[in-house]
Structure 1
Amino acid sequence: MINKDEAFFLKHILHHPKALLSPYHITVQAQVHSDYERVFWKESLSKLEADDLRHSYSICQFFKNEKGCSLHPSFKNSVCRSFICLSIEARLNEDERESLHSWTQMIKHEEMLFQRTHEQALMDLGINLLSDPSAVMDYFKTLQDKKRD
């Protein structure tokens, strides 16, 4: 993303008002629909049940009503790349479900490997998103330059 559209990364990810930064991760929190606040019985739920309920009222920050997802396909994370709603998943036959599960596992593995590899490299360099986001961006730009060589 940094190499393809740095301005987008800065404005819509790093500096997004709902962005949660940790040393090696950025999470842009979903928008929770106001109807969630009107659910009076949520206090009786366990933390897991309450989280599931909150997620059911959540809408991705990058989802635009008329157009759908506004992210470039290459900017999508593993959830975006593997999500299929329950009503569609329920219509899949057994072979299709197995294929979906295999595909989802492959996508998650790919993301986990990327995350581990680059998190360790950033640790070795002594840089992170909290202390020096510019250095992290430079690190990823350097990788792109090496890829071209």
Structure 2
Amino acid sequence: MITFEQQYKQILTPLCFHCPEPYFAPAHNRIPHVGCCSYSPTFTLFELYQAIKEDKLESFKPYLQYDFIIDDFEFKVPAIVDESFFTLDVSGLSESELEEQKLPYSICQFFKKNQGCSLHPALKNATCRSFICPTAEETLQNDQQQQVEAWVKSIQYEARAFNKKHKPILSERNLTLAENLVEIISYFNTIAFSEQKKGEF
């Protein structure tokens, strides 16, 4: 069963508690089976705005520093990689191949045992809120698969539209996450306050 949670726009399924997808199986039984929570999530301006709007910026503050910034407007939180990975010979692999090789050895920093994702739902990125693995999707009828596809498009569109609108504004002001975090937070605080005032009328 797959459902769409309206408030925070996320696709949910109880299958995730016992992930059936072979692709996400851990490398060995000493590593917890966390399914797709083995990947390293990337957060955009949209998630940063959501954190500010929900007054939950503290969840991201440890990662809003230079080492985690992957471009002017995104930051990546690397998964925790089991030490056994570092015994492998990964010479000659491209960056994308290396990341894929790490998956069976990795656990997202936000994953908590018996809970799953520890982030507030509003702070999860669009991928985490919309991803459904092939094994879960195969349990659906055709009409249900089409519905899930529509939910995915809706989730992805909201984040893309927000980023497309605000990236050029920040670029024009020469503001980046690495160099001007305080100014960007102030910018989003102004927007959140404006949205709140609109909602009062």
| Bin of the TM-score, shorter chain as denominator length | 0.7 to 0.9
- Partner of 2:140 in structure 1? 92
- Partner of 2:101 in structure 1? 53
> C-alpha deviations, 1:84-112, integer Å up to 9, x for none?
23332222222222222222122112111
Quote the sequence identity (%): 30
- Partner of 1:28 in structure 2? 77
- Partner of 1:129 in structure 2? 177
CA distance in 2, matches of 1:95, 1:38: 46
Q: Is residue 2:55 matched to residue 1:2? A: no
> C-alpha deviations, 1:23-47, integer Å up to 9, x for none?
111111222233433455x558776
- Partner of 1:74 in structure 2? 122
Whose helix fraction is larger, Structure 1's or Structure 2's? Answer: 1
Shift in Å, 1:146: 1.2
SS of residue matched to 1:92: coil
Whether contact under 8 Å (2:79, 2:108) holds in the other structure is yes
State how many pairs are aligned: 146
Shift in Å, 1:66: 2.6
Shift in Å, 1:77: 0.6
Unpaired runs of 5+ residues, structure 2, are 1-50
> Residues 132 and 46 (structure 1 numbering): CA distance in 2 closer, same or farther, change over 3 Å?
closer
> Residues 38 and 76 (structure 1 numbering): CA distance in 2 closer, same or farther, change over 3 Å?
same
Whether contact under 8 Å (1:2, 1:141) holds in the other structure is yes
- Partner of 1:102 in structure 2? 150
Q: Which residue identity is paired with 1:6?
A: L
> Residues 9 and 47 (structure 1 numbering): CA distance in 2 closer, same or farther, change over 3 Å?
closer
SS of residue matched to 2:75: strand
Q: Which residue identity is paired with 1:14?
A: L
> Residues 135 and 120 (structure 1 numbering): CA distance in 2 closer, same or farther, change over 3 Å?
same
CA distance in 1, matches of 2:59, 2:52: 8
Whether contact under 8 Å (1:2, 1:137) holds in the other structure is yes
Q: Is residue 2:86 matched to residue 1:37? A: yes
- For the aligned residue pairs, the C-alpha RMSD in angstroms reads 2.5
